[in-house]
Amino acid sequence: MLLIFACIVIVAVTASAQMSQVERDFETRKAKFTFEHFSEGEDASSGFDYLFYKNGSKIVKIRSIWSASHTHEMRVSDFYFDGTELLFFREFTASDRLLNALKKGRSGTLVPKEEFHFAAGKLTKWIVGGKAKSRDDSAWAESEKNALEQAKSHLESYGWLKEGK
* pLDDT 10s digits, 29-78: 999 999 999 999 877 789 999 999 999 999 999 999 999 988 899 999 99
Q: Is the pLDDT of residue 15 over 70?
A: no
102-123 pLDDT, tens digit each: 999 998 999 999 999 999 999 9
What are the helix (H) ranges across the chain?
2-18, 21-29, 99-103, 140-164
Burial of 134 (0-12, 13-18, 19+ CB in 10 A): exposed
So what's the pLDDT on residue 165?
A: 60
So what's the pLDDT on residue 18?
A: 81
CB 91 within 8 A of CB 77: yes
User: CA separation (Å) from 84 to 29, 36, 57, 147, 153?
Assistant: 19, 18, 11, 13, 11
The helix/strand/coil state of 84 is coil
